[in-house]
Amino acid sequence: MANMGEIVICRCEEVTYGQLQATAEEHKCTARELKLRTRAGMGFCGGRTCRPSLDRILESVIPNIAPGEIPLKYQPPIRPVTFGTVGENQ
């Protein structure tokens, strides 16, 4: 069996299942708090790869939460842009 704790969930920030599980359990995190504490989902890809896994970890930790009840919160920019691009545009 694989050592579940060592599986990298967020590839961008190399946050492991073990770190996420421990943080979620210790702090009874909201989705936002879990991301801020571990930086999972906050790397270069903006969580596009790991988000579904993060949601499943949260579902297993937060009591009585149904799949899909974790808010679908996204913030721009949803693609990495240089400060220059944002400056010119807005």
Partner 1 sequence: MSDVIVIGGGPAGLAGAIACASSGLNVTIVDEFIKPGGRLLGQLHQEPSGEWWNGIKESERLHQEARKLSVDIRCGVSVYNLEKENHLWNVYTNSGTLTAPFVLVATGAAEYPIPLPGWTLPGVMSIGAAQVMTNVHRVQVGKKGIIIGANILAFAILNELQLAGITVDRIVLPERNQISQKAGEPEEVMKSLLNAAHLAPSPLLRFGSRFMRRDWIRKIGLNFYPKNGVKVNGTPLQLRKAAIEIIGKDHVEGVRIADIDANGTIIAGSETIYEADFVCIAGGLYPLAELTAVAGCPFQYIPELGGHVPHHSETMETPLEGLFVAGNITGIESGKIAMAQGTTAGLSIAKHVGKGAGTIDEQLQQAVKNVRTVRQHAAIQFNPEINSGRSKMNQLWDDLYANNNREDSPKKIV
Partner 2 sequence: MTRIIDHPILGKLADREIITFQFDGNTYEAYENETIAAALLANGIRKLRVHEGSGTPRGIYCNIGHCMECRVTVNDQANVRACLTVVNKNMIVESGKQHPNIFKRMVEQR
Binding stretches for partner 1 (CB under 8 A) = 1-4, 6-9, 11, 14, 17, 46, 48-50, 52-53, 56-57, 60, 67-69, 72-81, 85, 88-90
Least distance (Å) between residue 65 CB and partner 2: 26
Residue 42 sits in the site that holds partner 2 (CB under 8 A) = no
Q: Hey, is 24 helix, strand or coil?
A: helix
Preceding amide of 77 cis, omega within 30: yes
Comparison of 28 and 56: residue with beta carbon closer to partner 1: 56
Nearer to partner 2 by Cβ, of 12 and 29: the residue is 12
Helix (H, G, I), strand (E, B) or coil at 86: helix
**What is the Cα 21 distance to its own chain's centre?**
12
CB–CB of 50/10 below 8 Å?
Answer: yes
Which of these ranges, 9-17, 22-30, 58-66, 68-76, lies near partner 2 under the rule CB under 8 A?
9-17
Tokens of 78: 């949803």
Residue 12 binds: one of partner 2, partner 1, none (C-beta under 5 to 8 A by kind): partner 2
Q: Which residues contact 4 (CB under 8 A, 6 or more apart)?
A: 17, 18
